[in-house]
A and B are shown apart, each in its own frame.
Chain A
Amino acid sequence: MLNIKPTTGPHTTENLSIGGIMRQVIYALIPATLFGLYLFGWPAINLFLITLFSALFFEYFCLKLADKPALPALKDSSALLTAWLLAMSLPPWAPWWVGVIGAGMAIILGKQVYGGLGQNLFNPAMLARVALLISFPLELTTWANVAPWLSETAPDFKTGLHITFMGLDTIDGSTGATVLGYVKTELSQKHPLSVSLADIYNANNAWLGFMRGSLSETSAILLILGGGWLLFKKIITWHIPLSIIVSVALISAVFHTLNPEIYLSPSVHLSSGALMCAAFFIATDYVTSPNTPVGQLIFGSACGLLIFTIRTWGGYPEGAAFAILLMNAFTPLIDHYVKPRIYGRDRQRRPLEL
């Protein structure tokens, strides 16, 4: 019968929930994730699961501590997604504690200390990624060779456990540098790109993802596919991904034309899976990106500029995480200055003149 409690319209609503959105993002990540787990085998699976379960534990722990109901928050899958994105960005054979500490930093320092979901200034996964990189540079820059399932080099379950829990020390020759890392080192020794790229870069493998890199960020193609799904499902809009990709492509094209021996081509930049992951999945995080389309275009273009700058002249070969964190800090400022024009008013919010 009738409910006497006063309510206002609308009396109907779109069938969408936070959990629904988070799960769509996870679905979009599945192809790239499965591919990464296939490439790097048991140690990667171990690390992936450890990171996920640690994040859920930390989320539960924080909510209990804050005396908030834990189950609804766990059900919205936001902690799961954060951990998923973090795990994807880790070196695939990193030891177990990297996943645990990373998940702890992402959930506790990246999210819950700010007051939980929706309150954080920085993307939790990237915050943890960068904190790990600075704290444990060796573990975070040890890149396993591609060792697909059923191949000769693939570690079996037991070896996988050893790598995850005892470390890599007994296994020689199973690691190397990423494309961006290798050319950066070579450039520092004055070796031109035409020589160093020939050693390590194969365009097809790079786009498909058959190369050293983060756990599930090697395949640009699969990440683009997932991003396309999110666009199709209207979970994200095109503004941030496109502005990042276009700005990286344009800036790198200009410098590459000026000196192809020092500056990487747009194709090498774009085929790095980390860039696509950042463009479609990380920079588009609702909480830490601007609210308006124009703001998002500014945010994305600046992210692209920073990614190129850090990759080219910075101390680290990959700049996506740093670039996004830096721009996260600017999000409130962008939102303060970039606002939609109110109907019937000019940008200064004065009524329109006739």
Chain B
Amino acid sequence: MISLMQSFRIRGGVHPDPKKTATTDLSIASDFPLPKKLYIPLQQHVGKPAEPVVRVGDYVYKGQLLAHSQGMISAPVHAPSSGVVTDIADYPAPHPSALPIRTVFMETDGKDAWQLLQTPTDPFALSAEEISLRVGAAGVVGMGGATFPAAVKLNLGRKNKISTLLINGGECEPYLTCDDRLMQESADGIIDGIRIMLHGMETPQAIVGIEDNKPAAFRAMKKAAADYRQIEVRQVPTHYPMGWDRQLIRYLTGKEVPADGRATDVGVLMHNVATAYAIHHAIRHNRPLVDRVVTIAGGAAVSPGNVWVPIGTLISELLDYCRVDRARMARLVMGGPMMGDALPIAELPVVKATSGILALTQDEITRGSEQACIRCARCISACPAGLLPVDMANRIRSNQLEAAVDIGLKDCISCGSCSYVCPSNIPLVHYFKYAAGELAARQQAQHKTEQTKKLIDERNKRIERIEKQKAEEAARELAAKVAKYTADQAEQVI
């Protein structure tokens, strides 16, 4: 009965072919050969880029700070292995544009030597603030792909006195199994990380949500959490996008986050399982975030699997490791197939957000040609946010972007459910992303025009004022002359 009530809480969504069987039963490989060169971008998180503290030629140990965080929302970056900093320059980012961003180039020495670690401390002897500080200093960010600095979120949770910490073990994207494997292999570490987070936020309880297509992960987590009454491990239906935080929040707690609010407004906060594990390492072992589990899958990968990969490794080396057939690879995707980014080249670094690398074949990505919309409304029933994708796309197509905003464009989460189900192959998400970008550009242009206008207005006022002053002065001078002349005349008369 309870589960029936809960199923009403799921709106929209789709059931894509999970395609996880190729990797779900394989242990995470830890024998990935250490790359000779690493490329560590200084911005791998939401917020300001980190500022380098090392110089070209410096020798750095594994885990040593390369760049410190800047400002309120930022995260530091650490050396993923030991070696020499060879350059700090621009390098293409793992993004569809592959535009260059500031990157630390490293040549590894093969020793993989950790910097001298402080002796581990009991996390529960530390103050809550100290936990946040250490998590921040370890460069931990949201590992599910959002890459929001974890420490900032911990502070938010503490300040807002949230009642429940939610842990996202949904992993609803097809192909990806990195969280699944991590839960199967390191459930104790994840549960420890959750306990540390609860301590750091002074929050009484946590709920872990795991999709019911991962029974092994669920069992492992349930077992690991058995001794901790404050942590509840629950199964959730396999339903894309279950991993959307607001969908999972509603499913697990019945609460709905207001459109203009944050999860903390309804007393909850969500972290990913991999983030919990990273926090466990950061606090227990004083190990900053320097590597992560990456799923390498897709039809072109001959030996797909999950791999522990140092941050900064070139994706091309991963492809070689998993014997990806480059000739058959029609598209390279970072992340899952629903929301991931298509990458133009493989010579891009793995970053903290890289949950998966998919080498997809032509068969896997083929879409028929775009056809007329038949108003079948599949997109409307698939939208988890309750939007009208077909109407929004029509408005965008006729360049009525504001009208598209009126019916909810800004509430779109780009989950791709609408494009996925469209029988006419209309690239709906493409329209929405275009419109969002175009609106931002227009807003910027508008802002610029307003600024220019303001400056011109001020200049005109200034000129006016100066001219007025000049005129006043001239008038004063004239008046003085007149006065003098009158006085002279008067003198003469006398």
Interface of A toward B, CB cutoff 8 Å = 1-4, 6-14, 16-18, 20-21, 72, 76, 78, 116-119, 286-287, 291-293, 339-345, 349, 351-354
Interface stretch of the complex, out of B181-189, B331-339, B451-459, B467-475: B331-339
- Assembled-state Cα–Cα distance A129/B372 (Å): 25
**Inter-chain contacts of A344 with B (CB < 8 A):** 246, 256-261, 411
Residue from A9, A17, A287, A339 within 8 A of B375 (CB atoms): A287
**Inter-chain contacts of A117 with B (CB < 8 A):** 371-372, 374
A343 near B259: Cβ-Cβ < 8 Å: yes
Per DSSP, are chain A's interface residues mostly helix, strand or loop, or mixed? loop
Interface stretch of the complex, out of B34-42, B103-111, B194-202, B414-422: B414-422
**Inter-chain contacts of B358 with A (CB < 8 A):** 11
**Inter-chain contacts of A13 with B (CB < 8 A):** 367, 419-420, 422, 425
**Inter-chain contacts of A293 with B (CB < 8 A):** 381
**Inter-chain contacts of B372 with A (CB < 8 A):** 18, 116-119
Per DSSP, are chain B's interface residues mostly helix, strand or loop, or mixed? loop
A118 near B375: Cβ-Cβ < 8 Å: yes
B330 near A2: Cβ-Cβ < 8 Å: yes
Q: Does B222 contact A (CB under 8 A)?
A: no
B380 near A291: Cβ-Cβ < 8 Å: yes
Q: Which 5 A-B pairs have the closest CB atoms?
A: A344-B259, A10-B416, A352-B258, A351-B260, A291-B377
**Inter-chain contacts of A340 with B (CB < 8 A):** 11, 380, 383, 386-388
**Inter-chain contacts of B332 with A (CB < 8 A):** 2
**Inter-chain contacts of B371 with A (CB < 8 A):** 17-18, 72, 76, 117
Instruction: Identify 19 new A-B residue pairs, CB closer than 8 A, beyond the known A12-B16, A344-B260.
Output: A1-B330, A2-B331, A7-B342, A7-B430, A9-B429, A10-B429, A12-B364, A13-B420, A13-B425, A17-B425, A78-B374, A291-B377, A339-B407, A340-B386, A341-B386, A342-B408, A343-B246, A351-B258, A351-B259
Residue from B329, B407, B419 within 8 A of A2 (CB atoms): B329
Of all chain A residues, the one with the shortest Cβ separation from B413 is A343
Q: Does B216 contact A (CB under 8 A)?
A: no
Of all chain B residues, the one with the shortest Cβ separation from A341 is B386
- Assembled-state Cα–Cα distance A293/B423 (Å): 19
Of all chain A residues, the one with the shortest Cβ separation from B390 is A291
Q: A286-B374, A291-B377, A292-B380 are in contact. Are A10 and B261 (CB under 8 A)?
A: no
Q: Does B220 contact A (CB under 8 A)?
A: no
**Inter-chain contacts of B329 with A (CB < 8 A):** 1-2
**Inter-chain contacts of B390 with A (CB < 8 A):** 291
Q: Does B100 contact A (CB under 8 A)?
A: no
Q: Does B126 contact A (CB under 8 A)?
A: no
- Assembled-state Cα–Cα distance A95/B291 (Å): 78
- Assembled-state Cα–Cα distance A323/B416 (Å): 37
Of all chain A residues, the one with the shortest Cβ separation from B335 is A9
Interfacial residues of chain B within 119-133, with CB under 8 A of chain A in the complex: none
A3 near B259: Cβ-Cβ < 8 Å: no
Q: Does B57 contact A (CB under 8 A)?
A: no
21 contacts between A and B (CB under 8 A): A1-B326, A7-B342, A9-B340, A9-B416, A12-B364, A13-B367, A14-B14, A14-B16, A17-B371, A17-B423, A18-B424, A286-B377, A292-B380, A342-B259, A342-B386, A342-B408, A343-B246, A343-B386, A345-B259, A349-B408, A352-B258
**Inter-chain contacts of B420 with A (CB < 8 A):** 10, 12-14
B408 near A12: Cβ-Cβ < 8 Å: no
B256 near A286: Cβ-Cβ < 8 Å: no
Nearest chain B CB to A190 CB, angstrom units = 47
Q: A9-B338, A291-B380, A354-B258 are in contact. Are A343 and B375 (CB under 8 A)?
A: no
B433 near A8: Cβ-Cβ < 8 Å: yes
Of all chain A residues, the one with the shortest Cβ separation from B240 is A10
B338 near A12: Cβ-Cβ < 8 Å: yes
**Inter-chain contacts of B490 with A (CB < 8 A):** none
**Inter-chain contacts of A72 with B (CB < 8 A):** 369, 371
B423 near A16: Cβ-Cβ < 8 Å: yes
- Assembled-state Cα–Cα distance A69/B174 (Å): 36
A4 near B375: Cβ-Cβ < 8 Å: no
Q: Does B71 contact A (CB under 8 A)?
A: no
- Assembled-state Cα–Cα distance A286/B337 (Å): 29
A11 near B256: Cβ-Cβ < 8 Å: no
- Assembled-state Cα–Cα distance A344/B375 (Å): 26
**Inter-chain contacts of A17 with B (CB < 8 A):** 368, 371, 423-425
**Inter-chain contacts of B97 with A (CB < 8 A):** 6
Q: Does B464 contact A (CB under 8 A)?
A: no
Q: A12-B16, A342-B386, A344-B257 are in contact. Are A18 and B374 (CB under 8 A)?
A: yes
Q: Does B266 contact A (CB under 8 A)?
A: yes
Question: Looking at A7, A11, A352, which has the most chain B CB atoms within 10 Å of its CB?
Answer: A11
Nearest chain B CB to A119 CB, angstrom units = 8
**Inter-chain contacts of B237 with A (CB < 8 A):** none
**Inter-chain contacts of B416 with A (CB < 8 A):** 8-10
Nearest chain B CB to A123 CB, angstrom units = 12
Q: Does B344 contact A (CB under 8 A)?
A: yes
- Assembled-state Cα–Cα distance A10/B374 (Å): 21
- Assembled-state Cα–Cα distance A344/B265 (Å): 12
Contact with A along B379-395 (1 / 0, CB 8 A): 01101111110100000
Of all chain A residues, the one with the shortest Cβ separation from B327 is A1
**Inter-chain contacts of A291 with B (CB < 8 A):** 375, 377, 380, 388, 390
Nearest chain A CB to B415 CB, angstrom units = 9
Q: Does B466 contact A (CB under 8 A)?
A: no
Q: Does B376 contact A (CB under 8 A)?
A: yes
Nearest chain B CB to A242 CB, angstrom units = 16
**Inter-chain contacts of A352 with B (CB < 8 A):** 256, 258-259, 261
A8 near B430: Cβ-Cβ < 8 Å: yes
Of all chain A residues, the one with the shortest Cβ separation from B246 is A343
**Inter-chain contacts of A339 with B (CB < 8 A):** 388, 407
Q: A17-B368, A21-B376, A287-B374 are in contact. Are A11 and B342 (CB under 8 A)?
A: yes
Q: Does B322 contact A (CB under 8 A)?
A: no
Nearest chain A CB to B293 CB, angstrom units = 21
**Inter-chain contacts of B386 with A (CB < 8 A):** 340-343
Of all chain B residues, the one with the shortest Cβ separation from A16 is B423
**Inter-chain contacts of A353 with B (CB < 8 A):** 258
Nearest chain A CB to B265 CB, angstrom units = 6
- Assembled-state Cα–Cα distance A83/B416 (Å): 35
**Inter-chain contacts of B137 with A (CB < 8 A):** none
**Inter-chain contacts of A7 with B (CB < 8 A):** 96, 331, 342, 430
**Inter-chain contacts of B259 with A (CB < 8 A):** 342-345, 351-352
- Assembled-state Cα–Cα distance A17/B368 (Å): 8
B337 near A10: Cβ-Cβ < 8 Å: yes
